[in-house]
Amino acid sequence: MTTIGVLGLQGAFREHVRSVEATGAKALVVKRIEQLKEIDGLIIPGGESTTIRRLIDKYEFLEPIRDFGKSGNPIFGTCAGLILLASEIDGSYDVHLGVMDIKVRRNAFGRQRESFEADLDIEGVAEGFNAVFIRAPYIEGVGENTKVLARYDGHIVAAQEGHYLACSFHPELTDDHRLTEHFVEMVEEAKKTLAL
């Protein structure tokens, strides 16, 4: 059985667990480094990226998560999770995990009153996907190996680079589990490859 870990330091991790379980995979809330051994893929949820980063540092998660990804295990970052995966962040902010070749802008659509929901087409994954953007970042630029999956108003809001997946909206807040399913499929594929 495929087990998807959801980083449970802060944020909407229970919603991701619900979404993973709806796809038929097993979900595990990851609060300790040792738990990374028990999972096949990791979701880094939405929350406050500054807060999650402080807790990642506090519990020395940074290197273990990087290693987890480097060994070929898929990682999916949503909203704050996307910021944590990015190799470049606008302004003076420190890069966090930096495993994905994307440049992001934080709070790019504005403050909470500018937060919105809109229907998107996610290439090869879903058409008419109801995406919820909350103080969301967007991707300003991607590397040559990064595939753009969705745009909103001209801005990149979902992308994939090999076994790394990121989106600036919250797929866990609706009952549309197609993007989570796509990630679970990525994890199942990676599992087969890693088993060889």
Among 86, 89, 96, 106, binds other proteins (CB under 8 A): 106
> Is 148 within 8 Å of 167 (Cβ atoms)?
no
Residue 83: CB minimum distance to other proteins, A: 11
Q: Which string of x and - marks every residue 1-30 that binds other proteins (by CB under 8 A)?
A: -------xxxxxxxx---------------
Q: How far apart are CA 5 and CA 27, in angstroms?
A: 6
Q: Is 81 in the site for other proteins (CB under 8 A)?
A: no
**Closer CB to other proteins, 96 or 163, in the complex:** 96
79 is catalytic: yes
170 is catalytic: yes
Q: How far apart are CA 109 and CA 181, in angstroms?
A: 27
Helices (H), the chain: 13-22, 49-58, 62-70, 80-85, 178-195
Residue 97: CB minimum distance to other proteins, A: 18
Half-sphere exposure of 183 (CA within 13 A, CB side): 35
Among 21, 95, 115, 155, binds other proteins (CB under 8 A): 115
Q: Is 35 in the site for other proteins (CB under 8 A)?
A: no
Find where tokens 């996307």 sit: 82
**Closer CB to other proteins, 176 or 188, in the complex:** 176
Residue 162: CB minimum distance to other proteins, A: 27
Residue 159: CB minimum distance to other proteins, A: 20
Show Cβ contacts of residue 79 under 8 Å, excluding neighbours closer than 6 positions: 45, 46, 47, 49, 134, 136, 137, 167, 168, 169, 170
- Residue 184 DSSP code: H
140 is catalytic: no
Catalytic residue among 15, 172, 177, 181: 172
Show Cβ contacts of residue 82 under 8 Å, excluding neighbours closer than 6 positions: 102, 104, 137, 139, 166, 167, 168
Binding site for other proteins (CB under 8 A): 8-15, 31, 46-48, 50-51, 54-55, 58, 79-80, 106-107, 111-118, 132-135, 152-153, 170, 173-174
Which active-site residues does the annotation give? 79, 170, 172
